[in-house]
Amino acid sequence: MRPIAEQTILVTGSSDGHGKRVARELAARGATVLVHGRDRRKTEAAAEEIGSDRVLVADLASLDAVRRLADEIDELDTLVNNAGVIVPERRESADGYELTFAVNYLSHFLLTQLLLPKLREPGRIVNVSSIGQAPLDFDDLMLKRDYNAYLAYAHSKLAQVMFTIELAERLDGRDITVNALHPATLMNTKMVTGGGVRPRSSVEEGVEATLRLVAAPDLDGVTGRFFDGTRESAADGQAYDADARRRLWEVSERLTGTVNSRWIVDGMNVIGSRPTGWWRDRRAAMRELVAALRGLGEPVTVVFDGEPFDLSDEVVDVRFASRRARGAADDEIVVLVAEEAEPSRVVTSDVELAERVRALGAEVVGAGAFRARLEGW
């Protein structure tokens, strides 16, 4: 990781409480801190107290506001997804989603996706969650049947952890870690005391735990973990259910409108990442990959090295790049990314290719992480 004094760090919900204390400590260590809040006057006052001149105002209950927030950021080293709410009675966000789920989880899912191309490496993402977790009911994610304020909060906090683990797998090949934590139990913040609950810990305890995930050198390379304070811990069991995590990711893409981008797959890189490789029957392996991609149910193009053969498909866009030209497949993928109207998702574990397509705004998913999405791979 870079020294904190060389980093630009966004802390959502840093106009008050735990987030404000975290931002203040990071600024004191020399970081360029982006102070975020919902109310301009309050956020500007907090930024002045923190010692930052970077003020970002956005209501995370609106996904359009989240998109505008991401547009205001050019480059980032660390993202701390901290903002959160507890809502006594069921309310809906500007987009029609249950408010707690929308603010605590969906807004940060979208914000993270939008900022990933702007995140410098090595980078860190810290999701401020809670040990208060409850399994998600995918048939009633918005709690329309039986709303309970604590259950809504616990759902949103488990969703953050599930997102953390899934994102860590999908970032295979990038020097970016993502971890979640329960900073401390019932800190003496306005969110706790305002709900008539007696605090059980101080904000300082939570700040110490959060700063460790942001700044501790011994956590370089540690990713996809959940921490209770400063100790690694176990989350609710649903967080370790790969199918549930994948389902939540797909639902989140649909709800936030981030599902339309095309997959562009470095075919031989994905095949070569399998334990069996492709050396026994190259063409058979290529046919197997195309068949697996067909079941993905999303727009996908796969680019192979080598001479073309009969591998056309009605669902999967299959391309061939001549083996005679070194790096021809990589060049073809770069051209495809440049031609896409929306940012693409490129599947490769080739470091040089990954750097080229990221420069064009593409998201890169490692071959191993992508294979986990494909049945039988």
The total domain count for the chain is 2
Domain termination site, one of 226, 256, 286: 256
Residue ending a domain, choose from 256, 285, 307: 256
Among 197, 221, 256, identify where a domain stops: 256
For residues 227 and 288, membership in a common domain is answered with: no
Which pLDDT score, from 0 to 100, does residue 196 have? 57
What value does the mean pLDDT of the chain take? 91
Range of the domain at 325: 263-371
> Would you state the pLDDT for residue 135?
98
Contacts (Cβ under 8 Å, ≥6 apart) of 62:
93, 94, 95
Considering the domain architecture, whether residues 249 and 351 belong to the same structural domain is answered as no
Chain centroid to CA 33 = 20
Point out the residues that are catalytic: 153
Give the per-residue pLDDT at 69: 98
Q: Are residues 326 and 311 in the same domain?
A: yes
Residue 132 and residue 63 share a domain: yes
The answer on 117 and 67 residing in a single domain is yes
**Tokens of residue 327, six digits:** 């790096």
Asked if the structure places residue 377 within a domain, the reply is no
Same domain membership, residue 140 and residue 122: yes
Same domain, 81 and 28: yes
Task: State pTM to two decimals.
Answer: 0.74
Digit-coded pLDDT (tens) for 35-71: 999 999 999 999 999 999 999 999 999 999 999 999 9
**What is the reported pLDDT for 279?**
62
Which string of DSSP letters, residue by residue, matches 136-163?
--TT-TT--SS--HHHHHHHHHHHHHHH
The model's pLDDT over 323-363, given as tens digits with 9 standing for 90+, comes to: 666 789 999 999 999 998 777 889 999 999 999 999 998 88
338 and 295 in one domain? yes
Judge whether 167 lies within some domain: yes
Q: Encode burial over 64-103: b for 16+ CB neighbours within 10 A, e otherwise.
A: ebbeebbeebeebbbbbbbbbbbbeebeebebebbbbbbb
Q: What is the CATH number of the domain that holds 270?
A: 3.40.50
